[in-house]
Structures are given as structure tokens and as C-alpha cells.
Amino acid sequence: MAFENSIRVMQGFAKKQIADTKKNAKGSNLANEITATVLGSFEDEPRVKFTMPDYTGFMDMGVKGTGQKFKNGKPLKMKTQLQGQQSAFAKAIFGFNKTPSFSGNFKMINPSAIDKWTIQKGIEGTRDAKGRFVSRQGIKTAIAISIYRQGLGQGGSYNSIAGTGFFSIPLAQNLTKMYENLEGAFAQDLIDNLKTEDYFV
């Protein structure tokens, strides 16, 4: 049996999800690393497979900082746009039992992980407030400490898309739409297959 209409709906869902993710991610390189593929057929458990970097969930949900005093003697807190059911859904799809946090076993980001970002931004070095030269290595370390304290999220450090639900929010909306469209597509596929098998006279 062929289920072309249903497969087409799933392909449309995958394409829309990727488009929405890129739109929400505001040109972030991360969005370009997220792909979607429709696998199998209705005889072989069709599914949409998303491939993405391991840290996507952390960027989508944001990561709470330690809240250590950092600026003007006041702890800075990460903000996220994910609330209530949106937060619960994001945790479920990324396998988190709570919002990620720089505490417990989740330690500070290794400064070397920020190296690619500093290169893309053309950062080689800078001068501090006293005119002293700060190397790129020093900048990477300062950024890592800042993220550790403030977190990754709206209001935190270097966070253009962190904590915005750039992937999970449209996913919930697009899944709902896909399930609605699948009802009619599946019914049409059944009719088409019955006609093909000469069950109708």
C-alpha cells in the first residue's frame, strides 16, 4: 500500500520546522546544522528524524547561571521565554528532567569551546579599561566565566538565541498542524489504495 498523501504531509512538516527554526535562530550557525529527514513508509514505521548538535537543547531552553555576584554587587539571572507547557515540552523532547543549570555536574564551559565563535567574530585581542592588552585566550576565559555566572539565556551572556525556544516552540505548533493534516491525508490514502486494489466497482 502507498501512502503518498500522508508522506507528503510529513515532508511538509519537516520543511516548515526547519524554516521556522532558521527564522527564529536569527542567522545563527546552529540553525544550519539542524536537518530533518522523513524515513520509511507507512509499512515501515514512517518518522521524521531531526539531526542536530548535542548542545541544541541547552541553547533552546537556556542554562541557568550560578547567580554569583558579578555586576554592581547583584547576582544576574538568566531569563527564558519558555514557560509552563512550553518548558515541559522542551524538557521532554531534549531529555531533560529540569531546566539545565551550571551547578552540580554541569561545570563551566571550556574556554576552548568558544574559540570558533571568537574566530568567526574576528576577535584577536582587545584592550581593557586600563589600556592593557587582553589576548584572545583571555577573552575566551572571561566569556566562559561570564556565561557560568549569568547563564545562557535572555539577559545572560552572548545569548542571541539561548532560552528563546527557537526549535521547541515552533515544533509544538507544527506537530499540532501535522496531526490535523494527517487525518485527511490518511483518509485519502486509504481511498486511493482501495481504488488501486479494485475494491471499488
The DSSP line for 123-150 is --EEE-TTS-EEEHHHHHHHHHHHHHHH
pTM of the model: 0.76
Tell me what pLDDT residue 201 has.
46
Helix-strand-coil split of the chain, %, nearest 5: 50, 15, 40
Length of the chain, in residues: 201
Going residue by residue through the chain, which has 201 residues, state the pLDDT in tens, using 9 for 90 and above.
567 888 889 999 999 999 999 999 876 888 889 999 998 765 666 789 999 998 899 889 888 877 765 455 454 555 666 777 888 888 898 988 888 888 765 677 777 777 777 777 777 777 777 888 888 788 888 888 878 887 887 655 555 678 889 999 999 999 999 999 989 988 888 887 777 655 544
Query: Quick one: pLDDT at residue 150?
Result: 78
Could you tell me the three cell numbers for 86? 512550553
Residue 81's pLDDT is: 66
Return the pLDDT at 198: 56
| Residue 167: all three cell numbers together | 526549535
CA end-to-end span of the chain? 19
